[in-house]
Homo-oligomer: A and B are copies of this chain.
Amino acid sequence: MSTLATLTNHQIRLAARPVGMPTRANWQSTTEAVAEPAQGGVLLKTLALSLDPAMRGWMNEGKSYIPPVGIGEVMRAGGVGQVIASKNPGFAVGDYVAAGFGIQEYLTLAEADFKRSGLVKIDLNVGTLTQWLNVLGMPGMTGYFGLMDVGQPKAGETVVVSGAAGAVGQTVGQMAKIKGCRVVGIAGGQAKCDWVVKELGFDACIDYKAGPSAVKEGLKQHCPAGVDIYFDNVGGEILDTVLTRINRGARIIICGAISQYNNTTAVQGPKNYLSLLVNRARMEGIVVFDYADRYHLAVAEMAGYLKDGRMKSKEDIVKGLDTFPEALIKLFTGENFGKLVLQVAEA
């Protein structure tokens, strides 16, 4: 290993708030010397970063569930990496960790910031590095607690999930299958649909790109008993269409609205929301951080399913810190296939 003094940290910072889809002009590349950790602190090397739809929201000004990324700040991102210098007895050089790395090659963390950064050791015997960003990471936790706590699935119910091949969607669908539900995905393109059915075991998957009434017709065909739970990652027209097919007492989990994040006009509200009244149904939001004290339980359960083959995962790995601006866009055009990961260095 090179001595710390010779290490340069490449970073990507938010240069300007985007209007609509982000472009290169919204980002700024910077370099700075890597700082030695203070007493109690650690120096981490970034190995892989999680690229998530929620990032688009963090780029906007205004009140949300967490503050926006400030102009000039390193872009916020969760990731996995390795301890390369430690002045803390709890962490040894070589330990693998997950933390809020940000889009950069190194992170020097003071002990006081461990908690805020979500620093935890991860065990590569439990899951691979990229699985720790996927089913065992934030997307997996989001899918697990959104489905289980907000959705409360019962065996025999019909669960529909949009963004089915994405990070959250694959966890939701597989967990719902394990809990005995009928599971219908919605995804863009035949390849993704084939994968969630053939590899993940969903009962069916609707290709929303197959035509203007593909979702409507697909729901009629594949949900003959209606929809009991809809896990919504996309919003927009798809949410409105599912609302016309829900059952009495249905639960709609609002996890995101990726179809609306780059709007330059107002978000499209669900014009069929009165279906909630007719069907005595519920639409409820979820933010994963609320479940932090139970992450370990979900990780333990799903790691077991990964081991025994009842659960699979797929990551779409893009390489190189500098590809971040273009890689992020893949989420909004639906080009990623599986959980989108930015690999920054070799493990």
Interface residues of A in 246-288 (CB under 8 A from B): 254-257, 260, 266-287
Specify which chain B residues have a CB less than 8 angstroms from the CB of A276 in the assembled complex. Answer: 254, 283-285
**Contact status of A286 and B277, CB under 8 A, knowing A268-B269, A271-B268, A272-B267:** yes
Q: Tell me the nearest residue of chain B to A243, going by C-beta.
A: B269
Specify which chain B residues have a CB less than 8 angstroms from the CB of A346 in the assembled complex. Answer: none
Specify which chain B residues have a CB less than 8 angstroms from the CB of A284 in the assembled complex. Answer: 276, 280-283
Question: Are A273 and B271 closer than 8 Å at their CB atoms?
Answer: no
- Considering the chains assembled together, what is the distance between the CA atoms of A298 and B255 in angstroms? 36
Answer yes or no: A240 CB below 8 A from chain B CBs.
Answer: yes
Answer yes or no: A290 CB below 8 A from chain B CBs.
Answer: yes
Specify which chain B residues have a CB less than 8 angstroms from the CB of A267 in the assembled complex. Answer: 271-274
- Considering the chains assembled together, what is the distance between the CA atoms of A281 and B285 in angstroms? 6
Closest Cβ of chain B to A320, distance in Å, is: 32
Answer yes or no: A64 CB below 8 A from chain B CBs.
Answer: yes
- Considering the chains assembled together, what is the distance between the CA atoms of A8 and B280 in angstroms? 41
User: Which of A273, A277, A282: most chain B CB closer than 10 A?
Assistant: A277
Specify which chain B residues have a CB less than 8 angstroms from the CB of A280 in the assembled complex. Answer: 284-287, 290
- Considering the chains assembled together, what is the distance between the CA atoms of A285 and B278 in angstroms? 7
Question: Are B277 and A271 closer than 8 Å at their CB atoms?
Answer: no
Q: Tell me the nearest residue of chain B to A273, going by C-beta.
A: B269
Specify which chain B residues have a CB less than 8 angstroms from the CB of A282 in the assembled complex. Answer: 282-285
Question: Are A273 and B277 closer than 8 Å at their CB atoms?
Answer: no
Specify which chain B residues have a CB less than 8 angstroms from the CB of A257 in the assembled complex. Answer: 274, 277
Specify which chain B residues have a CB less than 8 angstroms from the CB of A285 in the assembled complex. Answer: 274-282
Specify which chain B residues have a CB less than 8 angstroms from the CB of A266 in the assembled complex. Answer: 271
Question: Are B278 and A273 closer than 8 Å at their CB atoms?
Answer: no
Closest Cβ of chain B to A230, distance in Å, is: 13
- Considering the chains assembled together, what is the distance between the CA atoms of A256 and B273 in angstroms? 11
- Considering the chains assembled together, what is the distance between the CA atoms of A267 and B276 in angstroms? 13
Closest Cβ of chain B to A281, distance in Å, is: 6
Specify which chain B residues have a CB less than 8 angstroms from the CB of A271 in the assembled complex. Answer: 266-269
Interface residues of A in 79-101 (CB under 8 A from B): none
Interface residues of A in 280-333 (CB under 8 A from B): 280-287, 290
Closest Cβ of chain B to A160, distance in Å, is: 18
Q: Mark A105-130, 1 if CB is under 8 A from B, else 0.
A: 00000000000000000000000000
- Considering the chains assembled together, what is the distance between the CA atoms of A269 and B244 in angstroms? 14
**Contact status of A277 and B256, CB under 8 A, knowing A271-B266, A282-B282, A283-B284:** yes
- Considering the chains assembled together, what is the distance between the CA atoms of A260 and B277 in angstroms? 14
Partner of A273, one of B65, B255, B270, B281: B270
Closest Cβ of chain B to A214, distance in Å, is: 21
Question: Are B254 and A269 closer than 8 Å at their CB atoms?
Answer: no
Pairs of residues from A and B, 5 with the lowest C-beta to C-beta distance, nearest first: A269-B269, A277-B285, A269-B271, A276-B285, A282-B284
Extra contacts, 6 of them, besides A235-B274, A268-B271 (Cβ < 8 A), are A64-B278, A254-B274, A269-B270, A269-B272, A270-B270, A270-B273
Offer 7 A-B interface pairs, CB within 8 angstroms, sorted by A: A65-B278, A257-B274, A260-B274, A268-B271, A269-B270, A275-B285, A276-B284
